[in-house]
Chains A and B, each alone.
Chain A
């Protein structure tokens, strides 16, 4: 396996306080801002690059363009009123917010969501994972100039959004997983339409495999590029496909099974080369695994039974004092909610632990050093970060 060996020949010296000694006036270095309005950026964020020639010597991530203060807003909303706003935290894959919030509230209030609701939740989460990966594959290819992949995957994602729409009643923000259960069952004929969609996605993925993963340009630019050293996993809190591509089978679905994952057959997808190509490939295979999981879920899911537990009235629902942490494996890694209650009808503190938070800040700043400017976009996309979840 290719390990990261930095070439420090062009690297500026360090000052006594650990920062780099970069004299912009010398003309040797140039400051370059990538974002927030830039086609090569994963969302509304920016990276401040200091470059020497076309090599990056220092990168600083700047976030906060999407900060809405969710953790503060939730402190002044009752438990049920928090439920519509949590999904806004992560735009392309909102369901994990709903699940983690609902599970945290259930954990503290001692409510058990019914069996059927758990299957519904697992179904939604896997569908959301497929959406997120399709979005990622389009972005990863787009960052290297392969625009056509984005056209195909966005179409496939749109078919999945149609399934979401008929099931939950909304395209992007589904607001479907209530604390205590889910809102509704499956509509009539859903299985068949889902199967058609899955087939379409599989055939799209076959094309993507041919055109993207067997593309000489894509291989040339991604193999051996942007390596995550497995030793960094614990230091930087790397989880999800980024860790799995480095050969560590970190997968919450397997390590601490939640919902119905105990009853499903799957093996975490791992890769070994830890470069951009491997990370893309791990995600592609993980997507296909999700397709398989959805088929398993639809086959095993109970079709009758309660969808929501017996709940106290949501209007004046109070939860005793306590704190908990609930996690799930989203498409980018470990997603978790840390919830503290104080016996009132409002959460005392909610902290959202999104995987993008560590990946896009500390890890990206470490990895961006000594790479070419033109590879910054590809590297950033390959970490699969969503800005709204960094700053919340």
Chain B
């Protein structure tokens, strides 16, 4: 121990002459532009496919019918309702959103004394952060549900012109699995196309049993951990 050890702690006093580091008005401080805050939903763009509900590991999302939105071909008429008593702001629902209608604003303050008020349907229940410019949006070049559409080979026009060979060459088994892998098993097309219901999202597994184990989707809505539906546990034995 030296004289320095006794004296140097007093250098802390130099901070007396420093500008304060406190944020003058923390209550109105904006979050970063990418901040994952409260949800927004463009109800016009949303088709109610329920993929956000499927991927939510917290069972925070319910699909509920909304007044003024009709069920029509390509739109189930349901819209996601989010329970903020469950949400963890991981933004997987935003990443997985098929139409990119679900986004997150960078608003972050919501205080209530009634815990039942934290269930809301973004885009339908009006909130002060609706139409916020900043916030988290899924980058356009990243998808977590399958890659781009597998290209189906066709014959070149030069070959087509003098032959009767089938122009569209079809998929190989691997390509077909990749293509089937893009299905999110939302059930929307299957519900309207009643006649082809047998040819629905569960077909790849039955058509290609040999390679089905690799990555083909099993029947509809598999990985969901539904909050209120009958639940299945992978540990069921």
Contact = CB atoms under 8 A, between A and B. Distances in A.
Do A and B touch each other in the complex, judged by CB within 8 A? yes
Interface of A: 75-78, 80-85, 148, 155, 162, 165-170, 173, 175, 178, 183-184, 187, 207, 210-211, 214-216, 219-220, 307-308, 310-318, 343-346
B12 to A, nearest CB: 5
A170 B235 CA distance: 33
Given A307-B142, A316-B217, A77 B225 contact: yes
Nearest to B184: A315
Contacts of A345: 222-223, 234
B147 A170 contact: no
Contacts of B217: 313, 315-316
B47 interface: no
Contact of B6 (A170, A187, A216): A216
Contact of A210 (B8, B89, B136): B8
Max count, chain A CB within 10 A of own CB: residue among B8, B144, B214, B235? B144
Q: Secondary structure of the B side of the interface? A: loop
Smallest CB-CB A-B distances: 3 pairs: A84-B90, A81-B57, A313-B146
Given A312-B181, A316-B217, A169 B57 contact: no
Given A219-B1, A312-B146, A313-B181, 14 more contacts: A84-B57, A148-B12, A165-B35, A169-B34, A183-B142, A215-B5, A219-B5, A308-B142, A315-B55, A315-B96, A315-B145, A316-B218, A318-B214, A345-B234
Contacts of B184: 313, 315
Max count, chain B CB within 10 A of own CB: residue among A183, A207, A312? A312
Nearest to B231: A76
Contacts of A216: 1, 5-6, 9
Contact of A313 (B1, B21, B145, B233): B145
Contact of A310 (B35, B96, B136, B147): B147
B215 A317 contact: yes
B12 A207 contact: yes
Nearest to A84: B90
Given A313-B182, A315-B96, A214 B9 contact: yes
Contact of B215 (A76, A166, A183, A312): A312
